[in-house]
Structure 1
């Protein structure tokens, strides 16, 4: 073997190593990208039907401009419709009149509607409440703690909780009046 052949072999080995390393790097990058995309797009719901609903405590401003605390465990023995929404969400806005229409009747039957707002400011929420004349509790989840505890993805998202504190149904997206009433009947205390 002459010097030129030895140099050519070294070059070929270097090129093969570079190709091998590049292929390994591309495979690793693809695996990392796949893991990131899978993690971002996977269902965020941490709560399943049949799970015990996580307790929470949130505040809202009542009609007298006083802070009022809403705690899920205080509603034990009642059916609870727990709705996550925001004023900028058009489907959320569409279902609010249905919730208000059914609230007085189902409140008397032992069901509480709690609509957790994910808006940035209470001023926006209060204007919305006044605009639709809403009377059910609307606490403000300022730090999205409750939203994270329930694994809420898209809004509106609604959790129907039976009197024993178990999740009976989870609905992502807006509810029609008929669907809403059907779910409320499922969580009505006996």
Structure 2
């Protein structure tokens, strides 16, 4: 009986040592992975006001191709968003109203959804009866090129193709109207 207790105690110590070793190994792997990712990560430049807006081509929900450089001479209200993003949901109807006011004046909205399904995006657009072009950045390449972090983020591109302003967070209708005035061709 005494030997049985000793054997159980030895097994408990062995199991405890094994668990500690397993946890330590996982921590070392996690730290190593983090360091490796930091060292090998792509060096993405942060865009600034005044930089040339990176060109891209995306297809909208109607199958039309939109190349940013095709809008040269006009203002582009480039809005990055997601259907799950509450501020995005709030600002979309206001964006649509202002789009209807400013489209004839040379200001265009291109809403870039970040990698959601066609069904989700189309359902969202139908729910709000949105009239501006909506494209899905399925590969997240445009999001990466523009170094987009929080959603929503809006990049104002002036008629010369330069970044006029970068807005993060929710916009009011007055904000949107003012921003569209900023990028309206003279």
TM-score range normalised by the length of the shorter chain: 0.7 to 0.9
Q: Which residue is 2:56 aligned to? A: 56
Q: Which residue is 1:85 aligned to? A: 81
Q: How does 1:112-131 map to 2 (within 5 A)?
A: 112-131=108-127
Matched-pair contact (CA < 8 Å) for 1:78–1:189: yes
Q: Which residue is 2:28 aligned to? A: none
Matched-pair contact (CA < 8 Å) for 2:93–2:128: yes
Q: Which residue is 1:159 aligned to? A: 155
Unaligned runs of 5+ in 1: 1-31
Q: Compare CA radii of gyration and give the structure with the larger one.
A: 1
Matched-pair contact (CA < 8 Å) for 1:118–1:141: yes
Whether 1:184 and 2:174 are equivalent positions in the alignment is no
Matched-pair contact (CA < 8 Å) for 2:152–2:168: yes
Matched-pair contact (CA < 8 Å) for 2:77–2:155: yes
RMSD: 2.3
TM-score, structure 1 normalization: 0.74
For 2:94 and 2:45, how far apart are their aligned partners in 1? 25
Matched-pair contact (CA < 8 Å) for 2:78–2:154: yes
- Size of the alignment, in residue pairs? 152
For 1:153 and 1:70, how far apart are their aligned partners in 2? 22
Q: After TM superposition, which residue ranges in structure 1, 4 or more long, deviate above 3 angstroms?
A: 32-36
TM-score, structure 2 normalization: 0.76
For 1:132 and 1:55, how far apart are their aligned partners in 2? 28
